[in-house]
Amino acid sequence: MAERSRVAYVFPGQGSQNIGMGLDLYNSYPSAKEVFNEADASLGFPLSRLCFEGPAEELVKTHNVQPAILVVSIACLKVLQEASRSNFLPPAFVAGHSLGEYTALVAAGVLSLTDAVLLVRERGRLMYEAGLKNPGGMLAVIGLDEGTVRDISLRSGTEISNINCPGQIVVSGAIEALAEANNLAKTKGARALIPLKVSGAFHSALMEPIIAEFSEIVSSFEFHPPSIPIISNVTARPLTDVDSIKEDLVKQLRNCVQWQRSVEYIMHNGVTVFYEIGPGRVLSGLIRRINSELQIFNVSGIEDIAQLAREFQ
């Protein structure tokens, strides 16, 4: 079994959702049921039912999907801890992709589950409102290097909003700017261009109108010092105190998600084993493209839990 210094937990962001996520855990493990019940009580509506039954058009709304993914991810973590009978190896680092950073905060004891659910619900609401005020979107550019995409973004008036792994970079901007970026990327030989199903130009200057209000909302919640170093999406370096965490969450709204550099930082500090905890397998795919020699485990449902639990017996 790996040593603690070689393990990191990572948590997925928006886009990893699916109808039915978490239902098998809810039906089988008391710890998962407690997580969903706490979230439902905090929000005042059955988020659990939305996760389990949909409809999809409601689940994908930014203010719904963000707390939903966070809650399912924490349920996965709690069930793994329950199933492994407290033998589950604690990590040297935790990190999350965009929204996933909030899940990492819960895992590190910075935010309670109740506060995190309420905070990301507000985050999602404001991000949606910013998209209404400044309509825009996000475009994944596949097969081009960072320098080429940076040149495309400068020429088109877009911004690089996610550096996910070598050959997968996302740009954000106004609709017209994204169309220009799409055309420029085609001429540069992009292998694929994928518009993301989001309600705005996240992690760009078009989020600026909500920064002040979100900063006030963040300051209204109680934060605790982290028990585990959290890797910042903005700097790809550890967040180790409450003030830097609050500042980072606000900056994250309009700055690039440095996922590739975050994984590289963790890896260069001795971690060779990553657990992707939550719905989907998006981060596992990205991590493999960053370094194919890393060991990656998924924790998204009962089958994953059962397989890993056997390793801890």
Which active-site residues does the annotation give?
Answer: 98, 203
Are 262 and 236 within 8 A, CB to CB? Answer: yes
C-alpha distances (whole Å) from 301 to each of 14, 29, 49, 279, 306 are 18, 11, 17, 8, 9
Strand 273-277 with 7-11, pairing:
parallel
Residue 183: CB partners within 8 Å, gap ≥ 6?
none
Residue 108's nearest CA partner among 95, 89, 121 is 95
Rounded distance, CA 27 to CA 183, Å? Answer: 48
Are 305 and 80 within 8 A, CB to CB? Answer: yes
Residue carrying the six token digits 């979230």: 39
Rounded distance, CA 251 to CA 243, Å? Answer: 12
Residue carrying the six token digits 């919640």: 221
- Secondary structure (DSSP) of 205-247: GGGGGGHHHHHHHHHTS-----SS-EE-TTTSSEE-SHHHHHH
Question: Three-state SS string across 191-202, please?
Answer: CEEEECCCCCCC
Rounded distance, CA 214 to CA 220, Å? Answer: 10
Are 134 and 201 within 8 A, CB to CB? Answer: yes
Are 80 and 277 within 8 A, CB to CB? Answer: yes
Torsion of CA 94, 98, 100, 106, to 10 degrees: 70
